[in-house]
Chain A
Amino acid sequence: MKEKLIISGFGGQGSLLVGKLLTYAAMLDGRYVTFLPSYGAEVRGGTAYCNVIISDEEIASPTISIADTLIAMNLPSVVRFEPAVVQEGLIFINSSLIEYEPDRKDVRTVRIPATEIADGLGNIKVANMVMVGAYLAKKQILSRERVHEALGHLLPEHRRSLYEVNCGAIKEGYKLTNNQTPRNKMQDTRYEGQDTRNKIQTITNDQ
């Protein structure tokens, strides 16, 4: 198993935290894992992204040129990293902020109105965790329990109070994605149809 994942969004949306969280969970699972953030002139509102590689074998390079999965929190992220996703790869789109649909017909898209769901949960900042939940449901590489455990390790003492709402957001994202697009259906739609629109899985908040 080898998963190459790019997580990208505005600075402040918590893309790097998502990366760290999944990396930490993979470490708890005893897997090889690397996390590489974009660094330097990143600021709140700018673009921040990271590369995460989870593998059963030693990892050669922590940089990703072709990704298996992209989690895009905002529009510039889809535009920038869509070409880097492998054929039949998966793109998670925060549809609350991204109206754009990828041009490519050879990738699968999962749309999650993460920001709206987070808002509904009472904290717009946990949109990133909704995306985590969706990712966990779709990819089945890491268990939700592991990610919750990792979150417990990662949250600093003065942020403990945010543990529940973060876990809740993960659960919400997981539930939505799991319920509305069963895995076998996804697999069925993988190779059929030329029109991407048919393949795009739209997940809405109203159940």
Chain B
Amino acid sequence: MTEKRLMSGNEAMAEAAIRAGCRCYFGYPITPQNEVTAYMARRMPEAGGVFIQSESELAAINMVLGASAAGCRSMTSSSSPGISLKQEGISYIAAMELPAVIANIMRGGPGLGNIAPSQSDYFQAVKGGGHGDYRQIVLGPSTVQELVDLTVCSFDLADEYRMPVVILGDGLLGQMMEPVSMPGMRHVEIKEEEWVLSGCRGRAPRLLRSLILDPGDLAAHNLHLQEKYRRVAAREVRFESVFTDDAELIVVAYGTPARVCRAAVAACREKGIRAGLIRPITLWPFPREEISRLASQASHILVVEMSHGQMVEDVLLSAEFRVPVSFFGKAGGLTFHIDEVIRKMEKTNQKSKIKNQKAKSKKQKHKSKP
């Protein structure tokens, strides 16, 4: 085992990116992810890479586009309002099929909101915050160690599928320090694939663009993208399940609230409630099949989010209304306390028990009538 280091989520993510072969970072400061930019400013030149504090978020994302087009592993990071500004560039990156890693350390919104942790950018990340029919892989780490591991993974995914990958963390994860073990330094060459703009001396020029005027051509390009997204959806779903085998009450949570939910589930088990946790690690592609499977086994699903209900819609779609889905959320920067999650779980469990009993007695009445 490598020696553990004490690092904040933001710094650990930056170091992990460099170790994954990221050699271009472009960013514009915003709390609560400033440490990424600060760390990169110091560390990237040491690693022989390029660090630029851009003049704006728009510039940063388009620099990522450019560096990626030239074959370099590149990354940008920001927090909610800054990520909104980057959406146009992300849409272009998706259209041009370029690999890119974008970290969003979410803060309270809407608007400028505040700097406290939040998960209210789920829709933006998962449903495609920019225009057009595109998808991006969205990863939701819940510990600093997982943030490190998923950062490394995000560069591989971006390269493999040539599409944007979003690391969706929240202010807590960015700011908190935890012991982490870092992966080794990887040497990643500048790409030499047939799409990379590497200078056309001695060969025919290449073209990367997102403007495809002919409707037939653009339709074909869209079909090609959709085929790719289906491939990703089939192969890249990741989630963690805790105590779900015999669970009647399934809690679904991602990111830092999932940590609290895990402890709450363990506490409820001790109280005799058969609770389990599904923690989506990829938010897109969403672990739809697993939740669908559990929907036929469980009697109730509870979704816990630091928003007023975003992922809950994906859970509802996955559960296909076969099982009641409750929601527990707060936004604006408030975080969850384990006791309130346990209370909510107990209440939900009680409700579903009463409902089941009613349903049972109703059935019996129907039976006895004729």
Please list the residues of chain A having a beta carbon within 8 angstroms of any beta carbon in chain B: 20, 23-24, 27, 33-37, 39-40, 58-63, 65
Which B215-265 residues have C-beta < 8 A from chain A?
A: 256, 259-260, 262-264
Complex formed: what's the CA distance from A33 to B7 in Å?
12
SS class, residues of chain B in contact with chain A = mixed
Complex formed: what's the CA distance from A23 to B180 in Å?
13
Write out the residue numbers on chain A whose beta carbons fall within 8 Å of the beta carbon of B31: 39-40
Minimum CB–CB distance from B174 to chain A (whole Å) comes to: 9
Minimum CB–CB distance from B204 to chain A (whole Å) comes to: 51
The number of residues on chain B lying at the interface, defined by a beta carbon within 8 Å of a beta carbon of chain A, is 22
Once A20-B6, A39-B31 are accepted as A-B contacts, the answer to whether A62 and B262 lie under 8 Å apart by CB is no
Instruction: Determine whether the beta carbon of A40 is less than 8 Å from that of B177.
Output: no
Minimum CB–CB distance from B338 to chain A (whole Å) comes to: 6
Write out the residue numbers on chain B whose beta carbons fall within 8 Å of the beta carbon of A27: 4, 6, 179
Write out the residue numbers on chain A whose beta carbons fall within 8 Å of the beta carbon of B362: none
Minimum CB–CB distance from B328 to chain A (whole Å) comes to: 15
The reply to whether the CB of B176 lies closer than 8 angstroms to some CB of chain A is yes
Which B3-23 residues have C-beta < 8 A from chain A?
A: 4, 6
Minimum CB–CB distance from B6 to chain A (whole Å) comes to: 5
Minimum CB–CB distance from B137 to chain A (whole Å) comes to: 26
Instruction: Determine whether the beta carbon of B179 is less than 8 Å from that of A36.
Output: no
Which B154-177 residues have C-beta < 8 A from chain A?
A: 171-172, 175-177
Write out the residue numbers on chain B whose beta carbons fall within 8 Å of the beta carbon of A33: 178-179
Minimum CB–CB distance from B79 to chain A (whole Å) comes to: 11
Write out the residue numbers on chain B whose beta carbons fall within 8 Å of the beta carbon of A20: 6, 177
Once A23-B6, A27-B4 are accepted as A-B contacts, the answer to whether A60 and B259 lie under 8 Å apart by CB is yes
Complex formed: what's the CA distance from A39 to B177 in Å?
13
Write out the residue numbers on chain B whose beta carbons fall within 8 Å of the beta carbon of A58: 259, 262-263
Write out the residue numbers on chain B whose beta carbons fall within 8 Å of the beta carbon of A23: 6, 177
Complex formed: what's the CA distance from A25 to B198 in Å?
49
Please list the residues of chain B having a beta carbon within 8 angstroms of any beta carbon in chain A: 4, 6, 31-32, 115, 171-172, 175-179, 256, 259-260, 262-264, 335-338
Complex formed: what's the CA distance from A60 to B178 in Å?
12
Q: Which residue in B115, B259, B263 is a CB contact (below 8 Å) of A39?
A: B115
Minimum CB–CB distance from A37 to chain B (whole Å) comes to: 6
Q: Which residue in B115, B172, B179, B337 is a CB contact (below 8 Å) of A62?
A: B172
Once A40-B31, A61-B336, A61-B337 are accepted as A-B contacts, the answer to whether A35 and B177 lie under 8 Å apart by CB is yes
Instruction: Determine whether the beta carbon of A65 is less than 8 Å from that of B6.
Output: no
Write out the residue numbers on chain A whose beta carbons fall within 8 Å of the beta carbon of B259: 58-61
Q: Which residue in B6, B115, B264, B336 is a CB contact (below 8 Å) of A24?
A: B6
Taking CB as reference atom, which chain B residue is nearest A28? B4
Complex formed: what's the CA distance from A36 to B259 in Å?
15
Q: Which residue in B115, B171, B263 is a CB contact (below 8 Å) of A60?
A: B263
Complex formed: what's the CA distance from A65 to B337 in Å?
7
Q: Which of B172, B175, B260, B335 has the most CB of A within 10 A?
A: B175
Once A23-B6, A27-B6, A40-B31 are accepted as A-B contacts, the answer to whether A35 and B176 lie under 8 Å apart by CB is yes
What are 18 A-B interface contacts by the 8 Å CB criterion?
A: A23-B177, A24-B6, A27-B6, A27-B179, A34-B176, A36-B176, A37-B175, A37-B177, A39-B115, A39-B171, A40-B31, A58-B263, A60-B260, A60-B338, A61-B259, A61-B260, A61-B337, A65-B337
Instruction: Determine whether the beta carbon of B172 is less than 8 Å from that of A63.
Output: yes
Minimum CB–CB distance from B42 to chain A (whole Å) comes to: 12
Taking CB as reference atom, which chain B residue is nearest A60? B263
Instruction: Determine whether the beta carbon of B338 is less than 8 Å from that of A36.
Output: no
Complex formed: what's the CA distance from A60 to B4 in Å?
20
Instruction: Determine whether the beta carbon of A40 is less than 8 Å from that of B32.
Output: yes
Write out the residue numbers on chain A whose beta carbons fall within 8 Å of the beta carbon of B335: 61, 63
Q: Which of A20, A23, A24, A34 has the most CB of B within 10 A?
A: A34
Write out the residue numbers on chain A whose beta carbons fall within 8 Å of the beta carbon of B262: 58, 60
Write out the residue numbers on chain A whose beta carbons fall within 8 Å of the beta carbon of B179: 27, 33
